[in-house]
């Protein structure tokens, strides 16, 4: 099936989606990150560095991608953006920075993208990213930044982001998770 013909739709996440999002995130991480991280890194990161930030749901800056199943719609992907300082991590991450950013001088944060393994490489991550960048532009941002997993880097490179720095995030089990801070700016005059 052509990517453009894949039947899914985007909407903002609500608090009713939270249980489904936790399941989706675990399936995504365990299924899609296994070539990039060890089991020890994944076990140490899930629920802290990798997981749901419910602040984004409350802020109405978190999207879900839904696909039509037999008799219902199921959530097959999620991702968001934020006008708060936190760069990455779930509700239980060791570092939380809820202060608001200034769109005139700061980069909006692109946050917490997770696609179900059965739906990977069908364009969902790209569509959610476009929706996030568009919403952040409406809020006045022209620069975007994220703490990307190694698994996320090819998507973000393909979408025009460049690498700023590589970071090792210490995990609760003694392992460390390499992530990559990436950024992109709109050309001057685009809004």
Ligand X SMILES: CC(C)(COP(=O)(O)OP(=O)(O)OC[C@H]1O[C@@H](n2cnc3c(N)ncnc32)[C@H](O)[C@@H]1OP(=O)(O)O)[C@@H](O)C(=O)NCCC(=O)NCCS
- Within 50-69, the residues that bind ligand X by CB under 6 A are none
Q: Give the bridge partners for 82, in sequence order.
A: 109
Do residues 55 and 85 touch, judged by C-beta distance below 8 A? Answer: no
Task: Select from 54-62, 89-97, 100-108, 114-122 the region that touches ligand X (CB under 6 A).
Answer: 114-122
Q: What share of the chain is helix, strand, coil (3-state, %, to 5)?
A: 30, 30, 40
Site string for ligand X, 158-177 (x = CB under 6 A): x-------------------
Interaction of residue 114 with ligand X, rule CB under 6 A: yes
Element (H, E) at 77: strand 73-82
Q: Which of 61, 149, 169, 177 binds ligand X (CB under 6 A)?
A: 149
Q: Which of 136, 152, 169, 177 binds ligand X (CB under 6 A)?
A: 152
The CA-based angle 30-134-26, given to 5 degrees, is 10
- Interface residues with ligand X (CB under 6 A) are 28-29, 32-33, 113-115, 120-126, 146, 148-149, 151-152, 154-155, 158
């Amino acid at each position: 099936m052509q990517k453009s013909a894949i039947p899914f739709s985007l909407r903002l996440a609500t608090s009713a989606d939270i249980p489904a999002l936790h399941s989706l995130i675990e399936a995504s991480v365990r299924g899609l990150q296994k070539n990039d991280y060890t089991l020890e890194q994944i076990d140490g990161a899930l629920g802290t560095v990798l997981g749901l930030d419910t602040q984004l749901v409350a802020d109405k800056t978190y999207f879900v991608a839904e696909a039509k199943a037999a008799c219902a719609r199921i959530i097959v992907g999620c991702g968001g953006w934020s006008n708060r300082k936190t760069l990455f991590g779930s509700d239980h991450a060791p570092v939380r920075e809820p202060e608001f950013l200034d769109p005139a001088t700061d980069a909006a944060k692109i946050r917490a993208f997770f696609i179900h393994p059965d739906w990977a490489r069908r364009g969902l991550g790209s569509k959610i990213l476009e929706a996030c960048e568009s919403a952040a532009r409406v809020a006045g941002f022209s620069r975007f930044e994220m703490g990307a997993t190694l698994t996320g880097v090819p998507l973000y490179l393909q979408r025009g982001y460049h690498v700023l720095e590589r970071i090792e995030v210490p995990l609760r089990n003694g392992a460390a998770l390499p992530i990559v801070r990436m950024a992109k700016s709109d050309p001057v005059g685009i809004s």
